A and B are shown apart, each in its own frame.
Chain A
C-alpha cells in the first residue's frame, strides 16, 4: 500500500524495521558492574596457602585430577593435613553463617588419600643449578624441600632422628596420624626429588660449616625441649616431659605411667599426652590454668578426650609435687581466676589466695610448650628469645640462611610450618634467581600473596594458574557480600569415628573421616565464595541482555552500550564476585 519514496519513506502503518539495539541505553547508567574475583575466606585462613575454593570448584565440575593437582601445588602432604591440621579454613568458612562450615579437612583428606593411591605426575620444571640444605624434616623442612624441588632445585634435608617427619612422627600419636599414611606421604615427597638424610644431626654429625657448600640453607629444626612448669619438685621421678612421653610412645614404647596421670597444659601436646596415657590404661586428669574456652588445643581433640573419659580441671595450676614414701603421690594445685587479657589476647590466669587442693597422680606429664635448641647456629644469625628472626619470606639477617617453623616466631601448627616452608622456598628461589641474574617471576608481593596474613601461592608465584580469574583483588569476601538466597541448606557430614571400645583398645586411627561419596557431597556444599564459577545468574537475571558468555567459553562480557547499571547482576551474584563501581572511575 505504501508508494515507495513518498512520505519520507514512512510506511502506512507502524511496522517495525529495526530493533531496540539502536538505543544505546547504556548511557543511562552512573555505576557499572565489574567482575572481580575476591579471596575466599577459607583460602585467606589457610596458612599453607592452599586454593581450597579452587579445588572445591574443580571437584564440583568433576575435574578431580585437576583438583588434586591444584592441591599438590600448595600442600605437600594433604593426607597429613587432612587429619591433623586444626583447619582454620573451616573456622573462616562463610558457610558457617548459612548452616555449618564445609568439612574442608575431610575433603582434603579424601583427596590426599586418593593422591597416595596413585602416581601423580611430578610437574616438569627447568632444573636450577643451585642446591639447598635443609635442617629438619618436620613439616616446615619437608615443605621447603618439596617446593624447592618443584622449582627445579636440589634439596637435601638433614634429620637428626632415624626417620623423617619431625614432630609429625615424634609428637603426634598414631591414633591421629597413622604411620603408614605419614610414611607414604614422605615417600611422595622423596619421589618429587627431595633427598632426606636421617640420623644426621646438624652440629654434632654435620658441622654448620659443612652446609656452606649449599647455595642456601633453610633451618627448620623445630622446638623439642619441654618448657619448665616452675612447680616445686618438678625434677621428681614421676614428673615427665609430655613431649618426651609422646616420643617414647610414638616410637613404639609403652611406658608404665601408673593408674593415675595428671597432664599439665591445655595445648595439643597436653591433649595428645592425655589421650595417649588413657590408651595405656590410666585415669587421666588435665590441669589447665585457664578455662575450656581459652584452651589452645583443637576443639575436636578436646571433645574426643572428653569422650574417652578424660577429666579436666580448669582454673588450676600446679604448685608443687606431692610425694609420699619417696614416690609421687599427686600434685598440689592453686585455684586461679581470670584477670586482664595478656599479650595473646587471652585473659591472664591469676592465682587466688584460697582454694588450694591436691589431686592424686602416679605420673605428671608437663605439656606447657616447647623451646628451641639452636646451639648449632653461628651467633651471627639473629635470634630473639631463642627464636630465629626472619622476614616475610623466611630470610634471616645472614644472606644465605633462611628459617621457618617452630624455630621462628611462628604459630606452632602443622599448617603454619608448611606455610613457612613454602614461604622460605619462594624466598630462596627469589634470592637465588636474583643472585644468578635470572628473571624473578613476580616482584610485587600482591602477585603471590593473598589474604590479610599474606599467604603464599606457589601457583601465583609461578604464574601458571590452571583456573581462569577475573581481575582478582586481594580482598576477602564477607558473607554480607554474598547472596545466600541462591544456596540450599545441606547438613555437614560429621566425621566417622571408631567405637568407644575400639578407641581405647589401642592406637588405631580414631577419626575415620568421611566416605568418598560423603566427601564429594561436602565439596558440593562449597559456596565458591568470591570467585566466579560460571553459574550464570548475572546473565540470567540481566534485564537488558547486556551480559553474554565470552566467545572463548569462559567468563562473561558486559556490553556497556546496553548495561543500565541497575546492579541486579551484582546483587544476585551468589558469591560476591561482582561489584558495582562508579561510572568513569
Chain B
C-alpha cells in the first residue's frame, strides 16, 4: 500500500472544541485531540501552567469536553495523584487521570512532583507536550530547549549551550511500567501509545514533540512536517520503554541529516556549519546509545 489510510484507526469523536486559543498551527491542540481520541471521554485532565492553560480557554470556557483541573505549575503529577486517589476511594477505578504538562511543567519545575509520582508508581498518565521552551511566557529557555537554540533568555549571541534534558531516560530510570516518546506527525503511533498506556496500571509517561511556530520561528503550516523531520533525522526518536528496561523503536528513523531540519528554523539561524556538525555528531552518538539499549536493554 502506498499511503496508509490512517483514518480507519482514528475515532471520529472529538473531545476538544474549536475556538480554543492556541496560535495558528500550534501542535499542542493536535496532541491533545489525538490523545483524547485514544483515551476516550472517561478521562480527567490535570493541567498545570503551560500554553494549554490558555488553549483551554478563559473562565467560563473550556475547550475540553472532559473534566479539567487547572493546577499550579509544578504540581501536575501530584495533583493527578490526588485526583486518582479520590476517585479510587469513591469506587471509581476506571477513569483515566492524565496530567498534561509542557516541557517546563515536566522537565523543569514539574520534575520533582513527577519523579515523586513515578517513584510511587501512581496510577496516572503524565503527558509532556514539548515545544522546547517556555512558550506561553514568550519563548524563554527551558531544559527542553535544544543546544544552540535561540530563545529570549538565550539570545543569539549566547544561544543555549547545554543539551536538551533526556527526560525519557530519567523516567525510564524510575522503572515505571511504560514510558514513550511520540510526535504530532505520527497520529497512529501517538494513539497506539496512548491506548497502550491506558490499559496499563501505574505511572505512564508520554513525551510528545509539539513544534511551536512562533517559538521556533517557522511557518504555521510547517508544524507537522517539522515534527516528522525531527523524527526522521533521529533528533527525536520515537520509542517506548517498558518497565524501564525494554527499549524499542516504534517507527523507522531513516537518519536523514540534521542540517535541513536545523536550517529551516529561525531559532537556529545563527548556527554555523561547525555548530550543525556538532549537533549531527551528538545525534549520532545518542542514536548509538539508544540502539545499544534497544539491543541489550539498559
Contacts and interface: CB of A to CB of B under 8 A. Distances in A.
Q: Is there direct touching of A and B in the complex, by C-beta distance under 8 Å?
A: yes
Interface of A: 14-25, 28-29, 483, 485-488, 490, 524-527, 534-537, 539-546, 549, 559, 561-562, 564-568, 570-572, 574, 580
A535 B7 contact: yes
Contacts of B21: 20, 23, 25
B2 to A, nearest CB: 5
B220 interface: yes
Interface string B213-257: 100000111111100100000000000000000000000000000
Interface of B: 1-7, 10, 12, 14, 16-30, 33-34, 56-57, 59-63, 65, 68, 70, 184, 187, 213, 219-225, 228
Contacts of B16: 545
A542 B16 CA distance: 12
Given A19-B19, A524-B1, A485 B27 contact: no
A16 B68 CA distance: 9
From A20, A25, A536, residue with most partner B Cβ within 10 Å: A20
B1 A540 contact: no
B3 A566 contact: no
A549 B223 contact: no
- Most A CB contacts (10 A, CB to CB) among B18, B26, B27, B61 go to B18
Contacts of B57: 16, 19-20, 23
Given A19-B63, A571-B224, 7 more contacts: A17-B60, A486-B3, A537-B6, A537-B7, A543-B223, A567-B219, A567-B220
Contacts of A28: 24
Contacts of A565: 24, 220
A545 B14 CA distance: 8
Given A19-B17, A568-B25, A540 B2 contact: no
A487 B4 CA distance: 7
A560 B74 CA distance: 37
A543 B19 contact: no
Contacts of B63: 19-20
Nearest to B28: A543
A175 to B, nearest CB: 32
7 contacts: A17-B60, A19-B65, A540-B7, A540-B34, A541-B30, A543-B28, A564-B24
Contact of A16 (B2, B25, B60, B221): B60
Nearest to B70: A14
A567 B221 contact: yes
Contacts of A16: 57, 59-62, 68
Ordered nearest first, which 5 A-B pairs have the shortest CB separation?
Answer: A567-B221, A566-B25, A562-B18, A536-B7, A20-B19
A543 B26 contact: yes
B221 A549 contact: no
Given A490-B2, A540-B6, A562-B19, A545 B33 contact: yes
Contacts of A29: 24
Contacts of A534: 7
Contacts of A570: 221
A456 to B, nearest CB: 29
A571 B221 contact: yes
Contact of A567 (B3, B7, B22, B25): B25
Nearest to A541: B224
Given A19-B62, A543-B29, A568 B220 contact: yes
A483 B213 CA distance: 19
Contact of A543 (B5, B14, B30): B30
B223 A22 contact: no
A542 B29 CA distance: 9
B61 A566 contact: no
Contacts of A580: 221
Nearest to A30: B24
A18 B222 CA distance: 31
A23 B19 CA distance: 5
A35 B20 CA distance: 24
A20 B26 CA distance: 16
B14 A18 contact: no
Contact of A535 (B5, B27, B34): B5
Nearest to B229: A485
A567 B219 CA distance: 9
A186 to B, nearest CB: 35
B19 A571 contact: no
Nearest to B55: A20
Contacts of B20: 20, 23, 25, 544
Interface centre among B3, B17, B228 (most CB of A within 10 A): B3
Contacts of B2: 487-488, 490, 524-527
Contacts of A546: 18
Contacts of B14: 545
B269 to A, nearest CB: 21
Contacts of B222: 571
A534 B8 CA distance: 11
A561 B17 CA distance: 12
Given A487-B2, A541-B224, A574-B3, A566 B24 contact: yes
Contacts of B4: 486, 488
A16 B17 CA distance: 13
Given A488-B2, A524-B2, A527-B2, A18 B7 contact: no
B221 A543 contact: no
A21 B17 contact: yes
Given A544-B29, A567-B219, A568-B221, A21 B19 contact: yes
Contacts of B224: 541, 568, 571-572
B223 A14 contact: no
Given A543-B25, A543-B26, A23 B61 contact: yes
A21 B62 CA distance: 9
A539 B29 CA distance: 13
B27 to A, nearest CB: 7
Nearest to A565: B24
Nearest to A489: B2
A527 B3 contact: yes
Given A16-B62, A565-B24, A545 B18 contact: yes
A173 to B, nearest CB: 35
B18 A487 contact: no
Nearest to A544: B18
Contacts of B27: 543
A391 B4 CA distance: 45
Contacts of A549: 12
B194 to A, nearest CB: 14
A549 B12 CA distance: 9
Contacts of A21: 17-19
A20 B18 contact: yes
A525 B70 CA distance: 48
Residue of B10, B17, B19 with most chain A CB atoms under a 10 A cut-off: B19
Contacts of B225: 483, 485, 571-572
A20 B17 contact: yes
B24 A22 contact: no
